[in-house]
Amino acid sequence: MSALRRRKAGNVFMLGLTYVAAVLATLPLLFILFHLLQKGASTLTPDFFTNMPRPVGEAGGGMSNAIVGTLILIAIAAAIGLPVGIGAGLYLAEKRGGALAMTVRYLSDVLNGLPSIVLGIFAWQFLVRPFGNFSALAGGIALGAMMIPLVTRTTEEMIRLVPNSLREAALALGYPRWRTSMSVILRTALPGIVTGALVAVARIAGETAPLLFTAFGNQFWSTTLDEPIAALPLQIFAYAISPYDEWHKQAWAGALVLIVIVLIISLAARHATRARFGSAAD
């Protein structure tokens, strides 16, 4: 009887520990969000979005150039990562078990596991060294390369969810395969692919390491693609490791903006997923 009681006590204790684990695992997020709001919100005036960075000692100042820079970098990355990722995903979904498909799938996972700093030095070697200057384009391409495996994987998964009967129906109606893929398969899988694309964008939006030696950062206003460009993560990094209190405040405000951008994209992704599950019910 006491053995049973001991087992039951152990049961309650261990199950209780999993509750503790759940609480502990959510705490860091709540702490981080709390500190961001506490330290960043006061600096976050409209000026922050419209002003350029100012030297130490001058009040005010913002990160308008870095915010715009980050948006430009995301756009370049998406212009590269989306077509390649979706194309490769289509290929993988159509040739599931082929030798090339297996290889590409494996290598896509390898690319996904590659440390982002390694992509950074690669992009430097290829796109900065030969031209002799840092550029927005090099940074965007490095981020785009990061996006490719993410988009490839979700595209393949989403296309696989499309019922085969749809594909067969389209082919039976005399649609050529390319039109079947484009206007039936891709269209059906679109919400899922949009989700995957948004998740990928959210992931690269805050990346810093690949930009250190490519986009490099810029204290001035620049939207030229072959010049160094400011980026929110780079600016946060530079300000965070600086010795000035005012710059620390700016870093917190910048981090808050960055997090809000990432969260909005993540929530949009979740919304798109829900739309998919809603329509897949029939």
Partner 1 sequence: MGDAIASSGTSGGFARGRRVASLAGAAPGDRVYRVVITAFALMIPALLLLIAVAIGVAAWPALSAAGLSFITSSEWNVQAGKFGAAPAIYGTLVSSFIALVLATPLALGVAIFLSEIAPKWLRQPVAFLVDLLAAIPSVVYGLWGIFFLVPMLRDHVVPFFRDTLHLGNTPLFSGPAYGPSMLAAGVILAIMALPYISAVTREVLIAVPRSQRDAALALGATKWEMIWDAVIPYARSGIIGGVILGLGRALGETMAVTMVIGNRPEISASLLAPGYTMASLIANEFTEATSDLHLSALMAVGAVLFVITLIVNGMARWLVWRVASGPKS
Task: Choose between 72 and 236: whose C-beta lies nearer to partner 1.
Answer: 236
Check residue 273 for interaction with partner 1 (CB under 8 A).
no
81, 145 in Cβ contact below 8 A?
yes
Is residue 7 involved in binding partner 1 (CB under 8 A)?
A: yes
By CB under 8 A, tell whether 124 contacts partner 1. yes
- Closer Cβ to partner 1, 72 or 201, answer by number: 201
Task: Kindly identify the residues of this chain, within the stretch 15-74, that bind partner 1 according to CB under 8 A.
Answer: 15, 17-22, 24-26, 28-32, 35-36, 39
AA letter at 139: G
Stretch near partner 1 under the rule CB under 8 A, chosen from 48-56, 60-68, 81-89, 271-279: 81-89
Per residue in 154-188, is it b (16+ CB within 10 Å) or e — as a string?
Answer: bbbbbbeebeeeebeebeeeebeeeebbeebbbeb
From the number of C-beta atoms within 10 Å of its C-beta (0-12, 13-18, 19+), residue 71 rates as middle
User: Binder to partner 1 among 37, 52, 71, 101 (CB under 8 A)?
Assistant: 101
- Cα–Cα distance, 77 to 72 (Å, whole number): 9
Q: What does the alpha-carbon distance between residue 208 and residue 195 come to, in Å, rounded to a whole number?
A: 23
* Candidate ranges 42-50, 183-191, 251-259, 271-279; the one touching partner 1 (CB under 8 A): 251-259
Helix (DSSP H) and strand (DSSP E) numbers for the chain: 11, 0
Single residue of 11, 133, 223, 279 touching partner 1 by CB under 8 A:
11
Q: Is 152 in the site for partner 1 (CB under 8 A)?
A: yes
Q: Does 249 bind partner 1 (CB under 8 A)?
A: no
Tell me if 246 contacts partner 1 by CB under 8 A: no
Rg (CA), the chain: 23
* Under rule CB under 8 A, residue 102 binds partner 1: no
Residues in 165-184 at the binding interface with partner 1, rule: CB under 8 A: 165, 167-168, 171-172, 174-179, 181-182
CA neighbor of 259 nearest in space, from 210, 198, 200, 205: 205
Smallest separation (angstroms) from partner 1 to the CB of 47:
21
Return the structure tokens found at 110. 């390898």
Tell me the closest approach of the beta carbon of residue 225 to partner 1, in angstroms: 20
Please identify, among the stretches 57-65, 190-198, 200-208, 273-281, the one whose residues bind partner 1 according to the rule CB under 8 A.
Answer: 200-208
Q: Among 160, 146, 148, 25, which Cα is nearest to 90's? A: 160
Which of 65/180 has CB closer to partner 1? 180
Token pair 């679109």 in the structure block, residue: 190
